[in-house]
Amino acid sequence: AFNSRRKRIYWNDETVALCHEFLTKELGIKSQEITYIQDFWEGGGNAGEDFEVNIRGLEIATLVFMQYASADGKRVPLPLKVVDTGYGIERLVWLSQGTATSYEAIFGPLVEHLRKLSGVHQPPVEVLRENSKLAGMIDIESGRDLKLLRSKVASRTGLSVDELNRILTPLERIYAIADHLRCLAFMFGDGITPSNVREGYLARSVLRHTLELMREMELNTPLVELMAFELKHLAKQFPELEHRKNYVLEVTDAEEKRYREAVSRGTRIVKRIAGELRSKGEPISQRKLIELYDTYGLTPEIVKKMAAEVGVDVDVPDDFYIKVAESHSRAKRAEASVPPVSAENLRSLPPTRQLYYENPYAVEFRARVLNVFGEYVVLNQTMFYPEGGGQPADTGSLESGNAKVEVVDVIKVEDVILHRVKPPSLKRGDQVAGRVDWSRRRSLMAHHTGTHILLGAARRVLGDHVWQQGAQKGVDRSRLDISHFRRVGMKELREIERLSNEVITEDREVKATWMDRNQAERKYGFDLYQGGVVPGKRVRVVDIKGWNTQACAGTHCKRTGEVGLLKILRTERIQDGIERIEFATGLAALNFIQAQEEQLTRAAEILRTSPERVAAKTRELFEQWKAAEKEVKRLRQRIAESQLPQLRRAAKTVGEIRVICEEVEGASVDEMIKIASSLIKGDEKLVVILASRDETIRLVAMAGEEAVKMGVNCGSMISEASKVLEGGGGGRSSMGQGGGPRTDRLGVALRRALEICEKQIKG
């Protein structure tokens, strides 16, 4: 209720009376069981008195009466006095069920299902009750009071803290899994796609934390099966989840697989990082913990376990996940572009009449110059569309008398439209004749309308979880960024393209209407903002009949048939969870198709076949190439093997070690490694140094186990020899690789490698 000086709706007395009536008459709670505790509430810059409503020690509602603005320790009365009530619906359910905790009341079937799967026994009711009574002591932002809570519950129940942890920890994990599953069901049901940004990051974090809790419990049931169980019960109260069921299950399954793969990769990286830090005597930092969590989904518990295996400490803060959230809230925001003329300087000017909305097909108009700001001109009315909503500005010309200027850019600052002209020769008061570049406008209209058509097709093919995440329209090509949890397949793209062109050939009506925001939202729902939320009390609604409706300020065709043709050019994954579709419409699409046909014809000529057989002919040639490559490798291996006796004879003895240092003509690095391995296999006191030359020099060194024990280090040997070639290299004690561009220094490099080898052997 919003109470002003002119109009009073209701205030504290009526609020308490309504609350009391609801609790006693509607819910049947006895008056003597209800306690109202008067207090003062403050937060978010507002403050006011409040009543906390308690029943049997459980706070089930808070009635707040906002009447002050608070800042710098001062409170100033608000012009609007607001009644802000919060009822804990789940707490009322808990109260009505009389269970030991709210979880059994809210998640009953799921909690029981998880208990059976994990073999967790139900703790004594008195333990749960004492724990629930004292749980309000915990600082939920940090969790630092958990140990204190445990010790108090232990003393009241006669258990040790260790016994209490053993009883409660598994159950707390079950409660968390149940809560997370419901959260994910609604997030995915609302169309959120897991990613590493914004709400997608939150969804991914919740899911991965759920999987980690399951791992700690050794619960091996696939998460998607638990989600299916939860959806079965949720759909009874929320039927919309039944409609989204397939998407919810599909994205849950895909994310679980992605997590498993990330953990597999990440654990190897943790061990490498831990090994490096151990040599420095350093622990894994909190910053590194957050980085590993963000990148690989590795929870601090996993990192701690992996690091312990190599003897590195990890100090996990109690509020780790709070710190993760804070690190994301501090992410840099894109800076708003500064207009060339400030809004303050334009306040004295009336709003520019937007002729392009009245008739987007008109290209000529007359107007008066209201003011000039350098190279920017303000008119009383204009046909030029200003850049906005991903649509570039119109261009064209303005003519006054004998003076003609080019309009090269158009921008809107609040309600005033600025035209950037070259040369800047117009003056205030000039009457001008404007002309819009119709070819550009028409192409932009077709591409903008095509964007709406394409989005409608994508939602039908991929699912209504798909939302526009960005768009940029162009004259020759445009792009649409959509949310989707995996790469869009070729079959799906073809269907999206087919549906889009079907709508174009049906020549559907495209209608743009200005509507009151509330009226538009009531009629179309939140889907109205597929292209993003637009400001203002009135919104411009663009409706493609029976296909796509959204708030949009761009210029559009009147019928879909005017788009002509829509061709998807390419797709790419611009970030996790977001797919970019590039496309062209009309003549731009035709130009692309013709260019592709030209390339296909040229390829057919080169392959000496018809365009229809290019793929088959290419496959045939590729198979021939593979067979030839295989034969070349076989022959080169035979040549390499034929050199083994000669190389053995070339060995020289240095102390107890035999060293082969030779050039092997035409051998690849892999072939030299095979040769060296074959030579060393029968002699662990052998060192082999080989070189090969084509456009560059390639070096390989390998040492037997006994040679390594006697001081040979192939990595350092090759590193030094590669410097002679003005290149680089390195490796382990038993093997090194390198090379460089100086082909004229092959002999020098081999001699350098041999010299270092001899020094290593002699100590």
Q: How far is CA 193 from CA 57, 202, 322, 575, in A?
A: 40, 10, 22, 12
Q: Report the side by side order of strands in the sheet with 566-575.
A: 468-472, 478-483, 578-585, 566-575
Q: Where does a domain end: 436, 460, 486?
A: 436
- From the list 117, 270, 110, 274, the residue with the least C-alpha distance to 176 is 110
Question: Tokens 């004879």 correspond to what residue?
Answer: 649
Model confidence at 567, pLDDT cuts 50, 70, 90, reads very high
3-state SS, one letter per residue, for 454-488:
HHHHHHHHHCCCCCEEEEECCCCCEEEEEECCCCC
Model confidence over 63-116: pLDDT tens digits? 999 999 887 778 888 888 999 998 988 889 988 888 878 888 888 789 889 989
Q: Are residues 557 and 677 in the same domain?
A: no
pLDDT value at 140 more than 60: no
CA distance 74 to 50: 19
180 is written with which tokens? 């997370």
Q: What is the per-residue pLDDT for 335?
A: 44
User: Phi, psi (5° rounding) for residue 144?
Assistant: -70, -15
Query: How confident is the model over 724-750, as a mean pLDDT?
Result: 89
Q: Are residues 617 and 589 in the same domain?
A: no
Angle subtended at Cα 236 by Cα 577 and Cα 29, rounded to the nearest 5 degrees: 115
Query: How confident is the model over 500-525, as a mean pLDDT?
Result: 93
Q: Kindly state the DSSP code that residue 694 receives in the 8-state scheme.
A: S
Angle subtended at Cα 479 by Cα 594 and Cα 194, rounded to the nearest 5 degrees: 135
Q: Are residues 63 and 173 in the same domain?
A: no
pLDDT value at 275 more than 60: yes
pLDDT value at 322 more than 80: no
Q: How deeply is 353 buried, as exposed, middle or buried, from its count of CB atoms within 10 A (0-12, 13-18, 19+)?
A: middle
pLDDT value at 416 more than 90: yes
Q: How deeply is 516 buried, as exposed, middle or buried, from its count of CB atoms within 10 A (0-12, 13-18, 19+)?
A: exposed
Instruction: Domain count for the chain, please give it.
Output: 6
Q: What is the per-residue pLDDT for 640?
A: 74
Quick check: 279 and 312 in contact, CB under 8 A?
no
CA distance 746 to 749: 5
Q: Are residues 432 and 448 in the same domain?
A: no
CA distance 260 to 250: 16
Q: Which of 155-164, 169-178, 203-212, 477-486 has the lowest mean pLDDT?
A: 155-164
Residue 414 in 3-state DSSP? Answer: coil
Q: Which of 355-369, 599-613, 675-689 has the lowest mean pLDDT?
A: 675-689
| Helices (runs of H) and strands (runs of E) counted in the chain | 26, 26
Query: How confident is the model over 531-548, as a mean pLDDT?
Result: 88
In a domain, 602, yes or no: no
Quick check: 611 and 626 in contact, CB under 8 A?
no
Q: What is the per-residue pLDDT for 279?
A: 67
Q: How far is CA 568 from CA 455, 493, 498, 547, 574, in A?
A: 12, 8, 10, 19, 16
Query: How confident is the model over 290-319, as a mean pLDDT?
Result: 72
Model confidence over 279-296: pLDDT tens digits? 666 777 777 877 777 766
Q: Are residues 205 and 302 in the same domain?
A: yes
% pLDDT > 90, the chain:
44
Question: Tokens 């490498």 correspond to what residue?
Answer: 272
Q: Which of 384-393, 568-577, 637-646 has the lowest mean pLDDT?
A: 637-646
Q: Are residues 236 and 305 in the same domain?
A: yes
3-state SS, one letter per residue, for 144-157:
CCHHHHHHHHHHHH
Q: What is the per-residue pLDDT for 187?
A: 92
Neighbouring C-beta atoms of residue 81, cutoff 10 Å: 20
Q: What is the per-residue pLDDT for 582?
A: 94
Chain centroid to CA 587: how far?
Answer: 34
We report the CATH number of the domain holding residue 576 as 3.30.980.10
We report the CATH number of the domain holding residue 706 as 3.10.310.40
User: Element (H or E) spanning 306, and its range?
Assistant: helix 300-309
% pLDDT > 70, the chain:
94
CA distance 510 to 361: 14
In a domain, 702, yes or no: yes
In a domain, 92, yes or no: no
Q: Are residues 213 and 290 in the same domain?
A: yes
Which residues have a Cβ under 8 Å from the Cβ of 6 and sit 6 or more positions away?
Answer: none
Q: Are residues 260 and 207 in the same domain?
A: yes
pLDDT value at 334 more than 50: no
In a domain, 265, yes or no: yes
Q: Where does a domain end: 62, 87, 112?
A: 87
668 is written with which tokens? 């690849």
Model confidence at 141, pLDDT cuts 50, 70, 90, reads low
Query: How confident is the model over 654-661, as a mean pLDDT?
Result: 88
Quick check: 548 and 556 in contact, CB under 8 A?
no
Question: Tokens 């053993």 correspond to what residue?
Answer: 166
Residue 641 in 3-state DSSP? Answer: helix
Q: Kindly state the DSSP code that residue 239 receives in the 8-state scheme.
A: T
Model confidence over 214-240: pLDDT tens digits? 988 888 899 999 999 999 988 888 888
For 730, the domain range is 644-762
Q: What is the per-residue pLDDT for 333?
A: 46
Query: How confident is the model over 127-131, as a mean pLDDT?
Result: 76
Comparison of pLDDT for 360 and 319, the residue scoring more: 360
Length of the chain: 763
Quick check: 467 and 191 in contact, CB under 8 A?
yes
pLDDT value at 399 more than 50: yes
Q: What is the per-residue pLDDT for 536?
A: 81
CA distance 412 to 137: 54
Model confidence at 505, pLDDT cuts 50, 70, 90, reads very high
Which residues have a Cβ under 8 Å from the Cβ of 303 and sit 6 or more positions away?
Answer: 270, 284, 289, 292, 314
Q: Are residues 56 and 107 in the same domain?
A: no
Comparison of pLDDT for 326 and 44, the residue scoring more: 44
CA distance 492 to 106: 40
Q: What is the per-residue pLDDT for 78?
A: 87
- From the list 436, 415, 313, the residue with the least C-alpha distance to 370 is 415
Q: How far is CA 308 from CA 270, 283, 320, 425, 693, in A?
A: 11, 10, 19, 74, 47
In a domain, 494, yes or no: yes
Q: How deeply is 48 buried, as exposed, middle or buried, from its count of CB atoms within 10 A (0-12, 13-18, 19+)?
A: buried
Comparison of pLDDT for 691 and 321, the residue scoring more: 691
Model confidence at 332, pLDDT cuts 50, 70, 90, reads very low
Mean pLDDT, the chain, integer: 87
Model confidence over 591-616: pLDDT tens digits? 999 999 999 999 999 999 999 999 99
User: Element (H or E) spanning 159, and its range?
Assistant: none
Q: What is the per-residue pLDDT for 378?
A: 94
Quick check: 417 and 464 in contact, CB under 8 A?
no
Model confidence at 120, pLDDT cuts 50, 70, 90, reads confident
Q: How deeply is 683 buried, as exposed, middle or buried, from its count of CB atoms within 10 A (0-12, 13-18, 19+)?
A: middle
Q: b/e per residue, 249-287, with b = 16+ CB within 10 A?
A: bbbbbebbebbeeebeebbeebeebbeebeeeeeebebe
CA distance 175 to 103: 6
How many Cα atoms within 13 Å fall on the side-chain side of residue 652?
9
Which of left, alpha, beta for 396 (phi over 0: left; psi -120 to 50: alpha)?
Answer: left
Q: What is the DSSP string of 348-360?
A: TSPPPEEHHHH-T
Q: Are residues 42 and 116 in the same domain?
A: no
Q: What is the per-residue pLDDT for 326?
A: 65
In a domain, 343, yes or no: no
Q: What is the per-residue pLDDT for 297?
A: 64
Q: Where does a domain end: 299, 329, 359?
A: 329
Q: What is the per-residue pLDDT for 532?
A: 77
In a domain, 577, yes or no: yes
Q: What is the per-residue pLDDT for 556?
A: 95
Q: Are residues 371 and 261 in the same domain?
A: no
Q: Report the side by side order of strands in the sheet with 686-693.
A: 652-654, 657-663, 686-693, 697-703, 735-740, 728-731
In a domain, 334, yes or no: no
Q: Are residues 184 and 215 in the same domain?
A: yes
Residue 237 in 3-state DSSP? Answer: helix
CA distance 676 to 394: 69
User: Phi, psi (5° rounding) for residue 66?
Assistant: -70, 115
